Homo-oligomer: A and B are copies of this chain.
Amino acid sequence: MSNTASNPPAPPTAAAPARARNRRSGTQLSPEMIIEASLRIAARGSADAFTVRRLGEELGADPTAVYRHFRDKDELLLEVADRTLGEVLDSIPEGLVWQDRIRALADGSLAVALKYPAVASAMASRTTRRANEFRVVELILGAVAEAGLTGAEAAVHYRMVGDSLLALVGQRAAYLLFAPEARAADEAAWSREYRSVDPEAFPQITAVAGELAQVTQDGVYRVRVEALITAIERRAAELAVLPARDESAQHR
C-alpha cells in the first residue's frame, strides 16, 4: 500500500517540475519514472530484460528502491501492462464497423505486444483489473452488441474475444523472445522434418509438407482473428433465426 497514496503534498505523477530533485546522489524515483523505465527495457526485446536489477540499473538507482513504490514485481508488471493497453486503445480510430473495430484492436494489440514482448508474454494468462482493461472490455462488448448479441451471449463472446486475443499476442511475443538466434534454425528444422516424415504413417503431413513450411505467422494471425469475427457473426445469425428461447441451441 504505497504507490498511489504516497505523497500528499508533492505532485504524485506529473513530470516533477525542476525542483523535486535529488536526495543524495541524483535519483528520487516516482511510480511514473519506474513504469517508463520498465517500458524502456521491455522494449529492448531481450527475454531476461525485465528484471528488478536491470530496472534499477536503468533508473540509476538501487534495484530495491522500486519496492518503495510497488508492493512487488507483479504489481509493477500489471501497471506497466495497463499502460501498454492504453497505447493499444489510443491506436484505434473512431467510426469503424464492429468487425473492423475487432480487427483494429487485434492489430494494435499485436503491434504493442511485439514492441514490449517481455510484458505481453508475461500477461498472456493474466488480467490487470485496472482502468484501461475496462475500456477494452467496453470496446469488445460494444462490438458484440453491434453484432447482435445480448446478455449471456454477449458476455461469453466477449470472453472468447478477450481471452483469445490475449493468448494470441502472448504467443507471438513469447516466440519473439525465444531463442534469439535459434529461431531461424528452428524454422528450417521444421520444414525439413515435415518433409522427411514417413509417408505411410503421416499421409496428411506428407501431402501438405510444402505448404506447412510456407505458413507465415501473419497468415495464422489473420486467420485466427477472422475466426473470432466469424464465430460472432454465425452465432448472431443463429439467434436471429430463432428469436425466442435463446436458451436452446447449445452445441455438444
Give A residues with C-beta under 8 Å from B: 103, 121, 124-126, 129, 134, 137-138, 141-142, 145, 150-152, 154-160, 163-164, 166-168, 170-171, 174-175, 178, 189-190, 193, 197, 201-205, 207-208, 211-212, 214-215, 219-220, 222-224, 226-228, 230-231, 234, 250-252
| A134-B202, A204-B142 given; A124·B222 CB < 8 A | no
A155 to B214, CA, bound (A): 9
User: A159 near B205 (CB under 8 angstroms)?
Assistant: no
The interface residues of chain A, by DSSP majority, are classed as: helix
Residue of B nearest to A220 (CB): B159
Instruction: Quickly give the copy total for this chain.
Output: 2
User: A205 near B141 (CB under 8 angstroms)?
Assistant: yes
Hey, which chain B residues are within 8 Å of A129, CB to CB?
189-190, 193
User: A197 near B134 (CB under 8 angstroms)?
Assistant: yes
Hey, which chain B residues are within 8 Å of A138, CB to CB?
201-205
Partner of A151, one of B211, B227, B230: B211
Hey, which chain B residues are within 8 Å of A160, CB to CB?
220, 223-224, 227
Partner of A224, one of B124, B164, B222: B164
Contact sample, A vs B, 19 pairs, CB 8 Å cutoff: A124-B170, A125-B170, A129-B190, A129-B193, A137-B202, A150-B208, A152-B208, A154-B208, A155-B215, A156-B215, A156-B223, A159-B215, A159-B220, A160-B223, A226-B231, A226-B251, A226-B252, A227-B230, A231-B231
A142 to B240, CA, bound (A): 33
Residue of B nearest to A193 (CB): B129
